[in-house]
Structure 1
């Protein structure tokens, strides 16, 4: 059916009931489609007021303070559950389970325009031609053997793309902001529901290392609108217990402190403080990694943004994972973030580190931090000092995250 889009479109959105680009009616050019806004419970009345005719998927109250990772996690879990129900329903009507459409679209609330870039005889090309969202999705949905792909997406528009047409029609690379997701193939790969940023890069890396296929359609691009409000951009980090008449801005170095210190405790989720601290202050944790692409920081099972100056090598600890060949590579640091039982000491002993490389182990609490150090036999190769233990600047009831740093010996 030329006027039907098979993939439901989910848009996670927060703080943007006035400014988010949530009306895709014209971008669909009359095609039948399902568009669902995914909102936090406390914002539901606002979104319902501004968008009374939209379908709202309201997250449970426990997610009121979480980031976009939780919304993506819930969208994907709900969609897989729905796929199973639909398979059971259609199976009774004689439809084979594998013939039930397994894709959803996850689209940000700031996607504004779509373009097509046709290769030309010369290397120069125009800005591309505007096309509708309907055109892009229908072409992706009608691609032969599309169900073999775990994720598909398009380029994000840039001025460089406007000057030069794409050299290859497809790429296997990172996808973000606007993604066609196969919830069947990715059933066992999850978005990190704790995350406020970089949750898509983290997810892409896990999908890729699971041996699944990602495909970017290079002849399409999308543009994003800069929206200065919402989406955690305007999250104000403020002291927890002190009412300040003229609150001074609290900077990321103050987002962590020594355990049991007298430092001002902050009214913000621990994970948010950790991510912002790592984005701004990782040069202190991994000094040998700064501007050193030859000796990246080794990050196991998760990707965290540790600033643009520091290169990261991601390794998946799961058996049968597809990982980069790290033979001959010397790492300048090791980042272990909430690592689980798949991370074992034998795995870590496969990697080689520069003399003076640094380690950062992040855990949910102090006891699990110590258990991780012992279980992974980290003291065999890393030197720790008591003063190198830190926590996010939260009070105990807000469950701070703890981390310990060390040096390779």
Structure 2
């Protein structure tokens, strides 16, 4: 074949391609397809674009170092198994004198309330329209999902409780034993104070820390045996007066007004303080600071000698209403929560937080030192109750106000009767 014939064939081929591109309405691609057809001698089919990974954000509380590390581990393992889903952990920053739910409301105002959110006071967030109904694929994993008007909007992280962690070494050194009555408890506080220990540590600078004592006081002064709430001036005055006595007698030092929750662990580990009212998750924090320390846990009796073990599962996972409008994000969020409760993953969280399972499936936990501490506390026969302040259908904003009033009860100048009036007025708000 001579050169003139080759050139003639090329010109004819180019002409046909140009005619095709023109009739297809894709003139722009002609410059790409002509060389490809001419050089490769075959048709060109562009590959379908690959879909990028789905990104979801998981907003968590930042107050507990172990919880943060546990969630980082969950997110990392999840992404290893789900290459097409990217998880961004957002730890909601601590703000002095501000509750967690107030910080969530700030996120909502900034249009950053997404995608999976660790919740407090879920009912208030439901009323604000911030949450999507929880899909059955998730809420069917937990044994007792909470319903709001017959709909589940949140699933509990786990169940925990509240009580007093104490330094066993100090107790044994002073010949002290766990109290059988509230008067026994006050006598222990006085002996510790006489021996120059801080009887009770408190993290009042983190307003959310006050909910620990707040729930104890609420259950023992406001709640009845049949699960009703008696928010009366008489009950409130008595409750706030007894709480103020702990500060007036020096059992809770005034310097704890400016102390963070995390600093209470330091006070216990160093031997400065002998007791703190908190949850079992704090055991490991104290032990990490002082591996040689020996700790105990007891449920604080009320004035009638009844010790309540509060079964607290009020901290929940929710999915934002905004996320529910995006099917890919919603599907990814469901998959992440299913992974969180899955075998091996959930057990690690429970061990880390020294918590109890909420899942339908049974979990087996290793026999750890802290689990033995809690087992011994439960063997004393406390009365289990699920009625906490968060379950009392309180008006929006009441819990935050209540926590602030507790601080005023300890160290403020206002009479407890006036504080009781203000609480009762806030409780009765429509």
Q: TM-score, normalised by structure 2?
A: 0.28
Greater fraction strand: 1
Greater fraction helix: 2
Which has the larger Rg?
A: 2
Q: Which has the higher contact order (CA 8 A, sep 6+)?
A: 2
Q: TM-score, normalised by structure 1?
A: 0.29
